[in-house]
Amino acid sequence: MANPKRIGLFGGTFDPVHIGHLRGALEVAEFMGLDELRLIPSARPPHRETPLVGALDRLAMVEQAVVDLPPLQVDDRELQREKPSYSIDTLESLRAELAAHDQLFLILGWDAFCGLPGWHRWDELLQHCHILVLQRPDADSEASEELRNLLAARSASDPLALNGPGGQISFIWQTPLAVSATQIRSLLANGRSVRFLVPDAVLAYINAHGLYRG
């Protein structure tokens, strides 16, 4: 039997993708020894407003960003669906393509993790994956009682010790780069430079297509 693959999943609107996403993803991939870390652009995010730029442009920018950057890859399955981007659907469709013993790690910022009880079929997520929570020094969200109960039942202190295809939760500490897509959109709308906040290839794409200009 082949060794289990270790695959990380990092979803987002990526409107646009920036060095905060990329550096964070790369650090997690290296720390966890992942075979792949898939960036998964969401089509119609159920939890937030519609992205400013269309799905195909957001996808193209993420593709530009990960050229020559294994193990980072792009998975566009959420853009292929007509429905809203529910993580449970993504996990089920991934699971259908993988060996049963392959390990999936869903990577969530602490804020996103705190919102988990609002997600569609959230109590089924751990049937398909482990959850890695990126803890941030500046986090100010609080876990609800049901999440605290879940943590008490399912958390493991060492993320490197998570075994099996899924079912547990662990934390990774990471100092985030203070960059957000909101800040980048605002700079561009005001005619300011975003050089060094996004990869040069992404900047070239933004310029070539006149994206985010005010």
Give contact residues for ligand ATP (rule: CB under 6 A).
12-15, 20-21, 24, 108-109, 112, 176-177, 179-182
85 CB neighbour count, 10 Å cutoff = 21
Cβ-contact 132, 8 below 8 angstroms = yes
Which is closer to ligand ATP, CB of 21 or CB of 38? 21
Specify burial of residue 11 (Cβ count, 10 A radius: 0-12, 13-18, 19+).
buried
Which is closer to ligand ATP, CB of 99 or CB of 196? 196
- Number of residue whose CB is nearest ligand ATP: 20
Separation CA 28–CA 150 (nearest Å): 23
141 CB neighbour count, 10 Å cutoff = 13
Task: List the one residue out of 102, 121, 114 whose CA is nearest residue 148.
Answer: 114
CB of 12 to ligand ATP, least distance (A): 2
Which is closer to ligand ATP, CB of 4 or CB of 187? 187
CB of 50 to ligand ATP, least distance (A): 11
Which is closer to ligand ATP, CB of 21 or CB of 130? 21
Which is closer to ligand ATP, CB of 149 or CB of 182? 182
Task: List the one residue out of 102, 105, 130, 98 whose CA is nearest residue 4.
Answer: 102
CB of 146 to ligand ATP, least distance (A): 21
CB of 1 to ligand ATP, least distance (A): 33
Q: Report in angstroms the alpha-carbon separations of 211 from 8, 48, 54, 150.
A: 29, 20, 10, 42
CB of 114 to ligand ATP, least distance (A): 11
CB of 189 to ligand ATP, least distance (A): 13
Which is closer to ligand ATP, CB of 112 or CB of 114? 112
Separation CA 77–CA 79 (nearest Å): 5
